């Protein structure tokens, strides 16, 4: 495989803190495992507004569109009201997702055995949980029109968003989920609100049609989204692949964060359809945000970002054995007792962001 161009977008809040550590880990794979990556940092969002008076410098947008993959930290600063709305939209994550057409958002969640006691759920409830969300990422209520805040005839305001899905948008998410399930335990749970929303009814119909036509070997169940929120805490082990829409996927994947006790543990990969060269556009990011409550303190958990780097090794670099090596190193570091504050039990020694990444790097060193 030739040299891959990785556009690194650290962003706001804890974004730069955790992204630095993911880059350090990827540097290890470049130095020690012959993975060919060239990583270049670019400014955007609130940080770039402060430095350059634009949330999306042209050079950054060019780099985003050219790159083989993006490694993204987080966006969202406490107060962006000083940034004009059109500038805010220009630097927005949603614009990148749409422009790259990364419709399939893979969000794996597993109960890491050494963290069984960090979960607010009982250890016996979460033990062995290993599921993955396929969240549709470029349609639904996040993008539907009309949208806006309008003033009504009586002078009061009305907020409007539109939840829409076409058959094609549903079908490609469903196909992705069924194909992924074939590489796992062959089970798909499709989550919707078919009881309330027309777009939900269509979601259920189209997933059923795709299943019947091409994936009858995969087990399919349908579940209403509110029940899914309950089952994720009650019996997370019953899930393999969960395919759902943009908004439900956002909410339910945060719910699943409780399985390990922290959102800081969860990675994601947003992937497009394969292009003519067979390669997918890809955006890798931890699922958490900029965490303004802990930003700048060096205490954020970098494992969501580091595990996103593992997804990059698997999906973009085509090195699944190195992705496994990294995930195993994370497990080894946790098993050796490495804990950031968000996953530590009372009385346990706590590491900062950098020291947690050091623990992963030490575990990696032990593998070669």
Cα distances (Å, whole numbers) of residue 302 to 21, 27, 309, 357: 7, 15, 11, 7
Q: Is 107 annotated as a binding residue?
A: yes
Is the Cβ of residue 44 or residue 178 nearer to ligand NAD in the bound state? 44
Binding flag, residue 288, ligand NAD (CB under 6 A)? yes
Q: Is 289 annotated as a binding residue?
A: yes
Find the binding residues for ligand NAD in span 5-24 (CB under 6 A).
14, 18
Which residues of the chain form contacts with Mn ion (CB under 5 A)? 250
Could you write out the DSSP letters of every residue in 148-187?
Answer: EEEE-TTS-EEEE------HHHHHHHHHHHHHHHHTTTSE
Q: Is 122 a catalytic residue?
A: no
Minimum distance, C-beta of residue 350 to ligand NAD, in the bound complex (Å): 11
Binding flag, residue 342, ligand IPM (CB under 6 A)? no
Residue 307 interacting entry, from ligand NAD, Mn ion, ligand IPM, none, C-beta within 5 to 8 Å by type = none
How many Å apart are CA 45 and CA 35, to the nearest integer? 30
Q: Is 142 a catalytic residue?
A: yes
Residue 300 interacting entry, from ligand NAD, ligand IPM, Mn ion, none, C-beta within 5 to 8 Å by type = ligand NAD
Among 8, 25, 93, 129, binds ligand IPM (CB under 6 A): 93
Query: In the Cβ-directed half-sphere of 349, how many Cα atoms lie within 13 Å?
Result: 7
Residues found in the chain: 368
Is the Cβ of residue 45 or residue 236 nearer to ligand IPM in the bound state? 45
User: Which residue matches tokens 């949330």?
Assistant: 55
Segment lying near ligand NAD (by CB under 6 A), choices 31-39, 152-160, 199-207, 258-266 = 258-266
Q: Which of 193, 240, 284, 342 is catalytic?
A: 193
Binding flag, residue 285, ligand NAD (CB under 6 A)? yes
How many Å apart are CA 97 and CA 60, to the nearest integer? 15
Is the Cβ of residue 37 or residue 264 nearer to ligand IPM in the bound state? 264
Residue 342 interacting entry, from Mn ion, ligand IPM, ligand NAD, none, C-beta within 5 to 8 Å by type = ligand NAD
How many Å apart are CA 287 and CA 290, to the nearest integer? 10
Q: What is the CA angle 19-248-130, rounded to 5?
A: 65
How many Å apart are CA 307 and CA 257, to the nearest integer? 14
How many Å apart are CA 300 and CA 244, to the nearest integer? 29
Q: Which of 27, 130, 254, 358 is catalytic?
A: 254
Rounded (10°) angle between helices 93-100 and 58-66: 40
Could you write out the DSSP letters of every residue in 280-305?
Answer: PPEEE--SS---TTTTTTT-S--HHH
Q: Is 250 a catalytic residue?
A: yes
Find the binding residues for ligand NAD in span 321-360 (CB under 6 A).
342
Q: Which residues contact 7 (CB under 8 A, 6 or more apart)?
A: 40, 42, 63, 64, 66, 67, 69, 70, 71
Residue 192 forms beta bridges with which residues? 224
Is the Cβ of residue 20 or residue 285 nearer to Mn ion in the bound state? 285
Site string for ligand IPM, 255-294 (x = CB under 6 A): --------------------------------x-x-----
Q: Is 254 a catalytic residue?
A: yes
Segment lying near ligand NAD (by CB under 6 A), choices 105-113, 212-220, 269-277, 287-295 = 287-295
| Residues making contact with ligand NAD (CB under 6 A) | 14, 18, 74-76, 93, 262-264, 285, 288-294, 300-301, 304, 342
Catalytic residues: 142, 193, 226, 250, 254
| Residues making contact with ligand IPM (CB under 6 A) | 75, 93-94, 250, 287, 289
């Amino acid at each position: 495989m030739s040299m891959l161009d990785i556009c690194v977008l650290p962003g706001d809040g804890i974004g730069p803190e955790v992204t630095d550590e993911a880059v350090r880990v990827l540097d290890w794979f470049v130095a020690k495992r012959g993975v060919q990556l060239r990583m270049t940092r670019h400014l955007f969002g609130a940080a770039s507004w402060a430095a350059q008076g634009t949330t999306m410098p042209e050079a950054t947008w060019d780099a985003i569109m050219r790159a083989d993959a993006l490694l993204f930290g987080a966006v969202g600063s406490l107060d962006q009201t000083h940034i004009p709305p059109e500038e805010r939209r220009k630097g927005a994550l949603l614009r990148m997702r749409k422009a790259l057409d990364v419709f399939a958002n893979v969000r794996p969640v597993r109960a890491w055995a050494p963290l069984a006691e960090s979960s607010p759920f009982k250890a016996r409830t979460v033990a062995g949980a290993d599921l993955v969300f396929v969240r549709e990422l470029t349609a639904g209520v996040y993008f539907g029109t009309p949208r806006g805040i309008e003033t009504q005839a009586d002078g009061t305001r009305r907020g409007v968003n539109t939840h829409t899905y076409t058959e094609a948008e549903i079908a490609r998410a469903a196909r992705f989920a069924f194909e992924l399930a074939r590489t796992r335990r062959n089970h798909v749970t499709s989550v919707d609100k078919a009881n309330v929303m027309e777009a939900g009814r269509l979601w259920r119909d189209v997933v059923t049609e795709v299943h019947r036509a091409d994936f009858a070997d995969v087990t399919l169940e349908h579940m209403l989204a509110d029940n899914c929120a309950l089952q994720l805490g009650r019996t997370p082990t019953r899930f393999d692949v969960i395919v759902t829409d943009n908004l439900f996927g956002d909410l339910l994947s945060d719910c699943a964060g409780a399985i390990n006790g922290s959102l800081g543990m969860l990675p994601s990969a947003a992937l497009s359809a394969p292009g003519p060269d067979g390669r997918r556009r890809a955006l890798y990011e931890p699922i958490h945000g900029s965490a303004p409550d802990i930003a700048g303190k060096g205490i954020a958990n970098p494992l969501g970002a580091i595990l996103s780097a593992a997804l990059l090794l698997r999906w973009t670099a085509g090195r699944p054995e190195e992705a496994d090596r990294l995930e195993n190193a994370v497990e080894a570091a946790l098993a050796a007792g490495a804990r950031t504050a968000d996953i530590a039990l009372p009385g346990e020694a706590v590491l900062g962001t950098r020291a947690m990444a050091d623990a992963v790097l030490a575990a990696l060193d032990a593998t070669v």
